[in-house]
Amino acid sequence: MANHKSALKRIRSNEAKHLRNKYHHKTTRNAIRNLRAIEVKKDAEAILSNVISMIDKLAKNNIIHNNKAANIKSNLTKHVAAL
């Protein structure tokens, strides 16, 4: 168990951050899945910018790696362009 007040606070804050990161990551994964399920190009293009914004926020906060974010955005853009 932690020996210092600051260590106890760190444990609490880490848990809160963990839950928030998990929520944002899961929400983004669901948005990506929904984007891939759309078969109308016009609808997909409308949603693409929102999904890319979500991915950029994950990368900015180090929830996912920058290169992974770039790969996901590239694949989604190619997917929408191919519709």
Q: Residues of the chain with pLDDT > 70: what percent?
A: 99
pTM of whole model > 0.85?
Answer: no
Q: For the chain, what is the domain count?
A: 1
Q: Is residue 28 part of a domain?
A: yes
Give yes or no for residue 82 having a pLDDT over 80: yes
Domain that holds residue 67: 22-81
Residue 46 forms part of a structural domain? yes
pLDDT of residue 60: 95
CA dihedral 49, 76, 83, 43 (to 10 degrees): -30
The answer to whether residue 13 is domain-embedded is no
Whether residue 8 is contained in a domain is answered as no
